[in-house]
Amino acid sequence: MSAHLLQDRATRLFIALAAFFCVNAVLAEFIGVKIFALEDTLGIAPLEWNLFGQTGSLTFTAGTLLWPIVFVFTDVINEFFGSRGVRMISWIAVALILYAFLFAFAAIHLAPAGWWVEAAQSQGVPDYQKAYAAVFGQGLWTIAGSVLAFMLGQLIDVSVFHRIRRATGERHVWLRATGSTAVSQLIDSFVVLYIAFVLGPQHWPMSLFFAVSTVNYLYKMLAAVALIPLLYLMRRAIDGYLGAERAEQLRHQAAQ
């Protein structure tokens, strides 16, 4: 029976989509601790933007590089496997994120080899153990903010996606994809940074919180719009892989 299930193309498709979704979600959580400056990264002069009293370069969390990909996979899974499929992989992703952080903390508290602590001094890292702990030990506030924002965003995304789908039918894939992202990421972009950096030990001023959250949200929306062609390409590729009849059957079941 199990072998027969794995021979089913829809099952294999779901496993592949879920695996890629979870890998990107976990990786985004880990790299998201870094805040980078856009203009400096591109090698251009700061635009000297002024938002909520904050000036200088546009700043983003590094996790924003991956979250648009997660949105696309959320929409594809929503399209073919419905809200149940998205909720299932979202809970799996949360479990994997917590699992990864658990072992990151365990690794931090392993006693470092004496030679290893000084191994990166030539690269400008005087204490490898402290650097390792600073990067991977993001703290409970960051983890709590990330997980809560992720689940809120996913649940809202599912709800809005299917509300738009019921209103428009199978037309306007782009509308339900960008519409659900617009609402869910408005929550996600502000919740995670508020819990992690305002309530957390860094105690960001509200002006900095609103500035960074707004810029991150606008970036996610621009990326979501830019990735609409990828959404249609994936939909076409899945139709070809499953066959038109099977793909239509899945979409019909997902809409229910």
**What's the sign of the alpha-carbon dihedral 207, 211, 212, 214?**
positive
Low-confidence ranges of the chain (pLDDT < 50): 1
- Quote the CA–CA distance of 121 and 114 in Å, as a whole number: 13
The amino acid that residue 180 corresponds to is: S
The total of structural domains in the chain comes to: 1
Domain holding 144, by residue range, is 2-255
Tokens 């239509």 belong to which residue?
248
User: For the residues of 184-232, what is the DSSP string, one character each?
Assistant: HHHHHHHHHHIIIIISSTT---HHHHHHHHHHHHHHHHHHHHHTHHHHH
Give pLDDT, residue 1.
46
User: Phi then psi for 125, rounded to 5 degrees?
Assistant: -115, 100
Distance between alpha carbon 167 and the CA centroid of its chain, in Å?
27
Give pLDDT, residue 5.
66
Give pLDDT, residue 91.
92
Contact status, residue 158 vs residue 78, Cβ threshold 8 Å: yes
Q: Could you report the per-residue pLDDT of 205-247, keeping only the tens digit for each?
A: 888 888 888 888 888 888 888 888 998 899 899 999 999 899 8
Give pLDDT, residue 139.
64
Give pLDDT, residue 89.
92
